[in-house]
């Protein structure tokens, strides 16, 4: 395989690797290190069945199963469909997934390691792809924070609430989402994670505070917590941390969910079709037991 870094704040393209083949453990470990180092990996020109996408993804950790059973690929509940397409008048997938800045699964006790997306229908207008995926480099954000802010974040934890993002999506005109019921909220209670998190693969610190889910810095009074979170959200929105991925049809895109935040750009219409299959890989190799906040570090990288 050939690795070509984008030369930007995130991203590398991995050429000459067929993800349909059954990769061995050392190949998977190589990819794990590349993923954490570059934050985003694109594997162009892939031809994968849903089964092969799942087999590749689950080599990195356990796959997430949405409790609502939403938008699953037929026969593969671990594969979610992100699409605005209709079949016999019915939506084939989730059409508004991820359309605001967030980190997937931050609201879960065991956080997510990586997202694996396979885009086979990509909307185009005037010869340019639509529906970009934007990401931010949270290793770099933490590194650049002023020393006094780093000091204030020391030992602090942040609560992440699924309902915050749900409500952000609901505020949009024409949103099909109903408010979460008490039962649905109980299925996903807020989770608590370190604000300055040690990345289990790079061993470096990331700011684990995303505008989509982070609701409170638990050790601070509410007004101070709100102020500091606003500051952190503003800081990470500086253009120097932004990387924009423009989709190529048949590419597999993977991003590091611990070291980045992301946003799905909603610039295409109902008639501009998009079809992406997605597996959410949980960080089960690194946060083994429920409630464990201290990651097991990636042995090969640390050695």
- Can you list the positions of beta strands (E) in 122-220? 124-125, 128-129, 133-137, 157-160, 191-194, 196-198, 205-207, 214-217
* 72 contact partners, CB below 8 Å, separation of at least 6: 66, 78, 79, 80, 81
Give how far the C-alpha of residue 221 lies from the chain's centroid of Cα atoms, to the nearest Å. 29
CA atoms within 13 A on the CB side of 23: 22
Tokens standing for 116? Answer: 């694996």
Cβ proximity to Fe ion, 145 vs 264, nearer residue: 264
Cβ proximity to Fe ion, 65 vs 294, nearer residue: 65
Cβ proximity to Fe ion, 103 vs 225, nearer residue: 103
Cβ proximity to Fe ion, 169 vs 297, nearer residue: 169
Tokens standing for 45? Answer: 């020109």
Minimum distance from residue 61 beta carbon to Fe ion (Å):
16
Q: Can you tell me which residue has the tokens 């207008």?
A: 125
The C-alpha atoms of residue 18 and residue 94 are separated, in whole angstroms, by 28
Q: Which residue is nearest to Fe ion (CB)?
A: 98
Cβ proximity to Fe ion, 29 vs 104, nearer residue: 104
Minimum distance from residue 41 beta carbon to Fe ion (Å):
16
Residue 234 φ/ψ, nearest 5 degrees: -65, -45
Cβ proximity to Fe ion, 98 vs 211, nearer residue: 98
Minimum distance from residue 124 beta carbon to Fe ion (Å):
22
Minimum distance from residue 229 beta carbon to Fe ion (Å):
19
Q: Are 201 and 139 in contact (CB under 8 A)?
A: no
The C-alpha atoms of residue 134 and residue 244 are separated, in whole angstroms, by 4
Minimum distance from residue 303 beta carbon to Fe ion (Å):
32
**Residues at the interface with Fe ion (CB under 5 A):** 98, 104
Minimum distance from residue 103 beta carbon to Fe ion (Å):
8
């Amino acid at each position: 395989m050939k690795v070509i870094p984008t030369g930007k704040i995130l991203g590398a393209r991995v050429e000459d690797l067929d993800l349909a083949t059954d990769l061995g453990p050392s190949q998977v470990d190589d990819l794990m290190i590349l993923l954490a180092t570059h934050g985003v990996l694109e594997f162009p020109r892939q031809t994968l069945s849903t089964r092969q996408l799942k087999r590749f993804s689950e080599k990195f950790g356990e796959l997430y199963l949405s409790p609502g059973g939403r938008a699953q690929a037929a026969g593969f509940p671990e594969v979610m469909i992100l699409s605005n397409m209709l079949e016999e008048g019915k939506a084939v997938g989730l059409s508004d997934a991820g359309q605001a800045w967030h980190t997937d699964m931050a609201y879960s006790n065991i956080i997510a390691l990586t997202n694996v997306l396979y885009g086979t229908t990509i909307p185009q207008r005037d010869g340019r792809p639509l529906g970009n995926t934007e990401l931010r480099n949270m290793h770099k954000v933490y590194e650049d924070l002023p020393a006094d802010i780093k000091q204030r974040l020391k030992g602090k934890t942040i609560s992440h609430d699924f309902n915050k993002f749900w409500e952000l999506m609901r505020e949009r005109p024409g949103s099909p989402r109903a408010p979460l019921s008490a039962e649905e909220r109980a299925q996903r209670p807020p989770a608590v994670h370190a604000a300055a998190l040690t990345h289990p693969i790079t061993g470096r610190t990331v700011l684990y505070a995303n505008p989509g889910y982070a609701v409170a810095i638990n050790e601070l009074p509410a007004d101070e917590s709100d102020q500091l979170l606003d500051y952190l959200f503003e800081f990470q929105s500086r253009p120097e941390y932004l990387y924009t991925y423009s989709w190529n049809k048949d590419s597999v895109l993977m991003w590091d969910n611990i070291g980045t935040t992301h946003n799905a750009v909603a610039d295409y219409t109902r008639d501009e079709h998009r079809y992406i299959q997605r597996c959410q890989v949980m960080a089960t190799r690194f946060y083994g037991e429920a409630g464990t906040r201290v990651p097991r570090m990636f042995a090969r990288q640390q050695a």
